[in-house]
Amino acid sequence: MEWQGLNIDDCANRPCRNNGTCYDHIGGFKCACPKGFDGLQCEIVPKVEVVRSCDKLPVWQLHNGDVIIESNQTGTKYQNNLNCSWMVSSNTRIELVFMIFETEYVHDVVQCFDGESSSAPLIGGFNGSSLPSPVTSSSSKLFLRFTTDHSVTKSGFRARFRVAFSSGKQLYISDD
């Protein structure tokens, strides 16, 4: 017996969100989601999450999923004898961009590790007044540590963590 019926274009109403690509097939569709997005219709938006060791330091979760951290309250200098860390995770690679940066040269250091702790490979150590270049993790975790000594303090840093997308559009099929 041959199939009889009407095959409609399930992609006609554009069910894939966030620039996902729809592939119609008999009885349904599949979405190819841009890297970092997930779900049957690419509806799960990438988000960065942060766990911090110093509760008094500012952390802002933005509506677009990015996170901004600061080494001190706005308008003040950071404290002496700090040993603060931020463990950042996402569902894809993470980009760290410093927006403001000024620490005591050599003695007050920001270290960035490519993983979930300070035992992960060190990406870089930053201090002084030069704005560090953006850093991108090789996985879905990034660990940042800020240590200060007992003397001089400066204005500190503000940094943004965001989902790192590839330059080309890489798609994958969601099987959910």
User: What's the pLDDT tens digit per position in 78-117?
Assistant: 999 999 999 999 988 999 999 999 999 999 999 999 999 9
Q: Tokens for 40?
A: 């049957």
**Three-state secondary structure along the chain?**
CCCCCCCCCCCCCCCCCCCCEEEEECCEEEEEEECCCECCCCCECCCCEEEECCCCCCEEECCCCCEEEECCCCCCCCCCCCEEEEEEECCCCEEEEEEEEECCCCCCEEEEECCCCCCCCEEEEECCCCCCCCEECCCCEEEEEEECCCCCCCCEEEEEEEECCCCCCCEEECCC
Mean pLDDT of the chain: 89
49-163 maps to which CATH number? Answer: 2.60.120.290
* Homologous superfamily in CATH for domain 1-44: Laminin (2.10.25.10)
Give the model's confidence band at 67: pLDDT under 50 very low, under 70 low, under 90 confident, else very high. Answer: very high
Q: pTM surpassing 0.85? A: no
How do the domains of the chain map onto residue ranges? 1-44, 49-163
Give the model's confidence band at 133: pLDDT under 50 very low, under 70 low, under 90 confident, else very high. Answer: very high
> Is 50 exceeded by the pLDDT of residue 143?
yes
Side chain identity at residue 27, one-letter code: G
Distance of alpha carbon 85 from alpha carbon 82, whole angstroms: 10
